[in-house]
Amino acid sequence: MVVVGTPQRRKTCYPQCSLSHKVLLIFLSSVLLYYLLNDDIAEDKVVFRRHWDETITITSDWERLQDDGSSTNSKQIQAWRRDLEQQKDVASSPLLLHSTMTRTTQKHLTVSNLRKCQYVMIDLGSNIGDALHKFIDSFLPPIGINRKTGEGIHYFFNTTTGGIGPENYDDSPFEWLLPQYIREKITLYNNNNYSSINNNNIHPEDYCFYGVEGNPYFTPILRELEINVLNMIPRPVKHLHFLTEHVGTAIDGPTTLFLDTVNVKRNFWGSSIIQSHADVQKSSNSNGQMQTEENNKKEAHVIGITLTKLLEQTVLAGGHVIIKIDIEGAEYQLLEEAVRSSIFCRLVKGMGVTIDILGEFHGDATLGSEEPRKRWENIIRGEEAIKNCGASYRVVNSLIPIW
C-alpha cells in the first residue's frame, strides 16, 4: 500500500527488473564503454583550456563531412580570377565576391575549428591577419598598368568587401615577398604532382589556413576577419581558423607572452615570449600606447602550442604544407622541438607531405642574447636537420618583414 503524500522510492533495476530492461542496460553500457575506450576518438580530440571562460577544441576529420562542396567552391573562385584578368579598371568598377557577411556580438566563442586537410597554410605570428590577405593575393592576377614601371599592378584582397583594391603592392614593394613565395611554392608543388593537361592544379582556395597569434589585443580583429571570410560565397580559402591567445613554443600548455605596447604604427609587432626582446624591454620602461588601460598590461597569460602538435592535428597524408614563422625570437625553440620530435621526417618521408618553411629569424641584438642563435646553429644544426628530412627551408632576417 502507498500512503498519499509519501514519496515513492525509485525502483532499481537489479534484481527486480525484467529481462528486457537488463538487456537494454547492458547494451547502453557497452556503447558508453566503447566511446570511452576507443583509441581513435580518444587520440583525435585534444582540448586546450585557454581561459576560465573559453575552451578551444581541436577536432580531427573523423567527425567532419568529407565532401563540403570544396570542389564547387574552387571552380567558382577560379572563374572569379578569370573575370579579374579581363578587368581593366579595378578602381572604377571593383569585382566583388558574392558574400553573406555576418557579424557576432559575442566576445567569447566556443569553437571547434581545426580540421585535417590535404593542403595547409600555417601562419605563426598572425598579428592582424596580414598573411591571410597575402595568401589570397598570391594568385590574383596583376591588373592595370603601373605607368612608371609598365608592369601589372597587384592589388590587395579586401576581406571586408570580398573584392580587391584600391590598395596595391606598388605602394610597398617589399610586402610582395610573402605572396611571391607562396605562389612559387604552390606552383612548384603543382608542377611536381599534377598535369596541366587535366587542369587540376591547386590554388589558395584549396588550402586550409590556420593562424596563431598570442596578443589579446588582436583577438577581436582576427575573429571578425575569420567570420567575414568563412561567410563568403564562394570562399577564398577552403577553411580558416585563428588560434587567438596562442603562441608557438617548445612546450604545449600555459605560458606568458610579454607585450609590445610602444610600436603603434607597426601593430605592436614586438610581443614575444622572450623577456629580453628589445621591444619588450622598451615597453616595460614606458607607459604604453595601446587604446585602453586593460590593453596596456605588460604581459598576457596565453597557451603555447608546439609545431608538432599543430601539424599532427591539421595535416593529411600526401599533401602540401606552407609554414610562415615570425614569432619574435621564439622561432629557435619552436623549430628545435619540431626537429627533436622528427615531425618533418615523419610527414615528408612517412606520409608523402611536401613542406615549405619560410622563417623570419631575429638577431642577437633584438633578443638581447646570442645563445638562441648559437644553440640552433651549432648544437641543433637545425637547418641541416630540416633539409635532411626533405623539407624546404628559407630564412630571412628581421630587416625584411614577411608578415
pLDDT in tens, 167-209: 788 766 678 889 999 999 999 999 999 865 556 799 999 999 9
47 - beta bridge partners?
57
Contact between residue 136 and residue 252 where contact means Cβ atoms under 8 Å apart: no
CA distance 4 to 1: 10
- Per-residue pLDDT tens over the stretch 33-85: 554 444 433 333 333 222 323 333 333 333 333 444 578 889 888 888 888 77
99 - beta bridge partners?
232
Strands 392-397 and 354-361: parallel
**CA dist 13 → 16, 18, 31, 396 (Å):** 6, 8, 19, 69
The answer, yes or no, to whether residue 135 has pLDDT greater than 60, is yes
CA distance 247 to 327: 8
Kind and range of the H or E run holding 332: helix 331-341
Bond into 7 cis (ω within 30): no
Position 50 scores a pLDDT of 29
How many CB atoms are closer than 10 A to CB 185?
22
Average pLDDT over residues 289-303: 67
Q: Which of the two residues, 275 and 12, has the higher pLDDT score?
A: 275
Position 56 scores a pLDDT of 35
Q: Which of the two residues, 107 and 249, has the higher pLDDT score?
A: 249
pLDDT band with cut points at 50, 70 and 90 for residue 221: very high
- Angle (CA) 352 353 355, round 5°: 140
pLDDT band with cut points at 50, 70 and 90 for residue 88: low
Contact between residue 119 and residue 202 where contact means Cβ atoms under 8 Å apart: yes
| Minimum mean pLDDT range among 146-150, 231-235, 323-327 | 146-150
Average pLDDT over residues 265-291: 73
Position 58 scores a pLDDT of 36
- Per-residue pLDDT tens over the stretch 384-397: 999 999 999 998 86
Backbone φ, ψ for residue 160 (5° rounding): -90, -45
Quote the pTM value.
Answer: 0.77
Q: What is the mean pLDDT of the chain?
A: 77
What nine digits make up the cell of 249?
613554443
Average pLDDT over residues 252-260: 92
pLDDT band with cut points at 50, 70 and 90 for residue 98: low
Ranges of each domain in the chain: 43-397
Position 24 scores a pLDDT of 59
Q: Is the torsion defined by CA of 111, 117, 119, 120 positive or negative?
A: positive
The answer, yes or no, to whether residue 125 has pLDDT greater than 70, is yes
Contact between residue 56 and residue 47 where contact means Cβ atoms under 8 Å apart: yes
Position 349 scores a pLDDT of 96
Kind and range of the H or E run holding 143: strand 143-145
Which of 109-113, 144-148, 289-293 shows the highest mean pLDDT?
Answer: 144-148
Residue with cell 565532401: 67
Average pLDDT over residues 221-229: 91
- Percentage with pLDDT > 90 across the chain: 41
Q: What b/e string do you get for 72-105 counting C-beta neighbours within 10 Å, with b at 16 or more?
A: ebbebbbebeeebeeeeebeeebbebebeeeeee
Q: How far is CA 350 from the centre of its chain?
A: 23
- What residue type is 339 in one-letter code? V
CA distance 314 to 356: 15
Q: How far is CA 236 from the centre of its chain?
A: 15
